[in-house]
Amino acid sequence: MHQEQLKKNLRNDFPSLTKKILSNDLVYFDTAASAQKPSVVIEALGDFYANHYSNVSRGVHTLCVEATFKYEDARKKVQKFINAKSENEIIFTKNATESINLVAQTYFKKFMQSGDEIILSVMEHHSNLLPWFFLRDNYGVILKFINIDQDGQLDLDHFQSLITDKTKLVAITHLSNVFGTITDKKIIQISRENNLHVLLDGCQSASHLKVDVTELDCDFFVFSGHKLYGPSGIGVLYGKENLLNELPPFLGGGGMINEVSLDGATYAALPAKYEAGTPPMVEAYGLGVAIDYINNIGMENVELYEKELTDYASQKMSDLNFVNRYSNSINKTSIISFNLKNIHAHEVASFLDVEGIAVRAGHHCCQPLMKILDVPATARASFGIYNNKHEVDYFIDALIKCNSFFSVK
In sequence order, which residues have a C-beta less than 8 Å from that of residue 94 and are 6 or more positions away?
A: 233, 234, 235, 280
356: closest CA among 322, 326, 394? 394
Answer whether residue 37 is part of any domain.
Answer: no
**Closest CA relative to residue 378, chosen from 326, 332, 317:** 326
Identify whether residues 56 and 147 lie together within a single domain. yes
CATH of the domain at 343: 3.90.1150.10
Q: Are 110 and 222 found together in one domain?
A: yes
Distance CA 361, CA 257 (A): 44
Whether residue 402 lies in the annotated active site? no
Considering the domain boundaries, does residue 369 fall inside one? yes
Q: Exactly one of 64, 218, 365, 366 is catalytic; which is it?
A: 365
Distance CA 183, CA 155 (A): 10
Q: Are residues 245 and 146 in the same domain?
A: yes
Q: Are residues 329 and 229 in the same domain?
A: no
Which residues, listed in sequence order, are joined to residue 28 by a DSSP beta bridge?
358
Asked if the structure places residue 36 within a domain, the reply is no
- What gap in Å lies between CA 86 and CA 92, rounded to an integer? 14
> Residue 248's closest CA among 87, 86, 90, 104?
104
The β-bridge relationship of strands 117-121 and 142-146 is: parallel
Task: State residue 102 phi and psi, 5-degree precision.
Answer: -60, -50
Same domain, 273 and 393: no
- The confidence score (pLDDT) of residue 209 equals 98
> What is Dmax (Cα atoms) for the chain?
75
End position of a domain, from candidates 266, 295, 324: 295
193 and 49, same domain (yes or no): yes
pLDDT at position 58: 80
pLDDT in tens, the chain (409 residues): 455 556 566 889 999 999 999 999 999 999 999 999 999 999 999 999 999 999 998 889 999 999 999 999 999 999 999 999 999 999 999 999 999 999 999 999 999 999 999 999 999 999 999 999 999 999 999 999 999 998 999 999 999 999 999 999 999 999 999 999 999 999 999 999 999 999 999 999 999 999 999 999 999 999 999 999 999 999 999 999 999 999 999 999 999 999 999 999 999 999 999 999 999 999 999 999 999 999 999 999 999 999 999 999 999 999 999 999 999 999 999 999 999 999 999 999 999 999 999 999 999 999 999 999 999 999 999 999 999 999 999 999 999 999 999 987 5
CA distance 234 to 224: 6
Q: Is residue 361 part of a domain?
A: yes
Distance CA 365, CA 355 (A): 25
Q: In angstroms, rounded to a whole number, what is the distance separating the alpha carbons of residues 389 and 201?
A: 29
Q: How many CB atoms lie within 10 A of CB 405?
A: 13
List strands edge to edge, sheet with 323-326: 323-326, 335-340, 378-382, 360-362
Is residue 284 a part of any domain in this protein?
yes
Residues 6+ apart with CB under 8 A from 234: 92, 93, 94, 95, 224, 225, 226, 280, 283, 284, 286, 287
CA distances (Å), origin 159, targets 6, 191, 276: 39, 10, 37
- Can you tell me whether residue 27 is helix, strand or coil? strand
Local structure of residue 364 (DSSP, 8 states): T
Using alpha carbons, list the distances in angstroms from residue 311 to 46, 290, 348, 389: 38, 26, 22, 11
Answer yes or no: are the C-beta atoms of 341 and 362 closer than 8 Å. Answer: no
pTM of the model: 0.96
- Give yes or no: residues 281 and 350 share one domain: no
Question: Which residue, of 295, 327, 344, is where some domain finishes?
Answer: 295
Residue 280 is given by DSSP the state: -
90: domain range?
Answer: 42-295
Within-domain flag for 35: no
In a domain, 194, yes or no: yes
One domain for residues 48 and 76: yes
Cβ-contact 300, 210 below 8 angstroms: yes
Rounded Cα–Cα distance for residues 182 and 173 (Å): 8
- Contact by Cβ (8 Å): 319, 303: no
* Domain-embedded: residue 86: yes
356 and 266 both lie in a single domain: no
Looking at the fold, whether 116 and 233 belong to one and the same domain comes out as: yes
Give the CATH number, domain containing residue 150.
Answer: 3.40.640.10
Q: H or E stretch including 40?
A: helix 39-47
Cβ-count burial 45-73 (b if 16+ within 10 Å, e if not): beebeeebeebbbeeeeeebebbbebbbe
> 216 and 227: one domain?
yes
Domain stop point among 269, 295, 321 = 295
For the chain, what is the domain count?
2
> Do 321 and 401 share a domain, yes or no?
yes
